Amino acid sequence: MKIVDAKVIVCSPGRNFVTLKLTTEDGIHGLGDATLNGRELAVVAYLEEHVIPMLIGRDARRIEDTWQLLYKGAYWRRGPVTMTAVSAVDCALWDIQGKALGVPVYQLLGGRSRDDVMVYGHANGADIDDAVRAAQHYVSLGYKAVRVQSGVPGLKGVYGVGRGTMSYEPAERGKAPELEWSSERYLAFVPELFARVRRELGPDVHLLHDVHHRLTPIEAARLGKELEPHHLFWMEDPTPAELQDGFRLIREHTTTPIAVGEVFNSIHDCEALLRGQLIDYIRTSVVHAGGLSHLRKIAHVAELYHVKTGAHGATDMSPVCLAASLHFDLAIHNFGIQEYMRHSDDTDRVFPHAYSFNAGALYPGDKPGLGVDIDETLAAHHPYERAYLPVARKLDGTVHSW
């Protein structure tokens, strides 16, 4: 089953997406998401200039061998651009394999371990009242888990504050927006936010919060400790994870569960976190951490240390990535939760898909392969537009993590 065609499709139905489409000699095609938010075209060039020429003529059934060839064969290992490209190829090959055998990908991954995939939605408010209302809205839609973010008094715009709709989209066309940051103001505010949200939503709803890499380990330890009475499902990205050892400090001070990993590219980024039992949820994604083949390895290592998965699922993961995540989530034993930020209607039209939402959970559908396609004619109506994620500055002007 030789690969005879490979192309990269770049489109922007509301936001930018990069998609790899591989076609075999039997006419089967497979898709892989290759979107790296704000740095999209670097992956396009990597695929077109360096990867695609190696794929033509290869046997599409040799998924692991192709992964190793692209990873070890490049000599220059890891990194977001390389790993996003490898992920796209890997994902497309699993899609092809499923279609060739006439089964949904979750069957190839070991079959269903559960009935469906619990997801969390994003409640974003300008202030506490707004955030509470947004969270209540998600609960009324059947969500069992809600991530809550709010504007912080005294700061002009912070990460996670929506723009009045259910689909929150931080990347901006043209120029990177600048936001303000103060750890002092944030730390003084968030415990109050969750005291209110827990009181209004009751004990059963899972509550999540994303710190978005903005605190030092000891600041995050203080936050985790102060949030303990409100029983969070997780506190995400409490501190930048380049320093894996920093998580030990957080762990020593709080029992609030910790999630991390959306910017990780391989098992080497989380190996010490897993082995040291410093985290509770690993958030690596299909698109940025080496595809289904590598994500499986991360999940299996995590399982040894009682760490569950909580895959990244923001809108910059395309429906192709979301579909792949759902097959993975349904199959692996140590699934925790799946992030779900609904895509815009334009995006859903460009990527028709078999997954569906019901009662706080998603189901990938039973179509052969991943169950997602791309309408190339429609995609061509939404050309790429350069866009940047925001940057944050402290009140004295110093650049800070957004």
Of 316, 343, 360, 372, the one binding ligand GCO by CB under 6 A: 316
Could you tell me where the beta strands, DSSP code E, fall in 63-135? Answer: 117-125
Q: Which two tokens stand for residue 339?
A: 């992030």
Over the window 141 to 180, marking each residue x when it contacts Mg ion by CB under 5 A and - when it does not, the resulting string is ----------------------------------------
Dihedral (C-alpha) 356, 358, 361, 363: value to the nearest 10 degrees? -30
User: Which residue in 37, 97, 150, 239 binds ligand GCO (CB under 6 A)?
Assistant: 37
Strand locations in 98-200 (E): 117-125, 145-150, 172-173, 178-181
Tell me whether residue 340 is one of the annotated catalytic residues: no
Shortest Å, Cβ 371 to ligand GCO: 23
Instruction: Using DSSP bridges, classify how beta strands 281-282 and 117-125 pair: parallel, antiparallel or unpaired.
Output: unpaired
Site for Mg ion (CB under 5 A): which residue of 40, 210, 219, 329?
A: 210
Q: How far apart are CA 107 and CA 127, in angstroms?
A: 44
314 binds, among ligand GCO, Mg ion, none (CB under 5 to 8 A by kind): ligand GCO
> Which of residues 74 and 166 has its CB atom nearest to ligand GCO in the complex?
166
Active-site residue (options: 29, 212, 213, 327) = 212
Sign of CA dihedral 132, 133, 134, 135: positive
106 part of the active site: no
∠ CA(175), CA(179), CA(390), 5° rounding? 40
To ligand GCO, the closest distance from the beta carbon of 24 in angstroms equals 32
Distance CA(308)–CA(334), nearest Å, equals 5
Name the minimum Å distance from CB 210 to Mg ion: 4
269, interface contact from Mg ion, ligand GCO, none, CB < 5-8 Å by kind? none
**Min. distance of Cβ 66 from ligand GCO in angstroms?**
27
Number of residues that bind Mg ion (CB under 5 A): 2
For position 40 contacting ligand GCO by CB under 6 A, the verdict is: no
In angstroms, the CA 56 to CA 58 distance is 6
Which segments within 25-183 are labelled E, that is strand? 29-33, 117-125, 145-150, 172-173, 178-181
- Distance (Å, whole) CA 323 – CA 238: 28
CA angle 203, 209, 210 (to 5 degrees): 170
Distance of CA 380 to the CA centre of its chain: 25
Q: Which CB sits closer to ligand GCO, 210 or 373?
A: 210
Tell me the number of residues near ligand GCO by CB under 6 A: 9
Rounded to whole angstroms, how far apart are CA atoms 296 and 305?
Answer: 15
Near ligand GCO in 320-359, by CB under 6 A: 339
- Could you say which of 314, 323, 324, 372 contacts ligand GCO (CB under 6 A)? 314
Active site residues: 159, 212
Interface contacts to Mg ion, rule CB under 5 A? 210, 262
Interface contacts to ligand GCO, rule CB under 6 A? 37, 170, 210, 212, 262, 314, 316, 339, 389
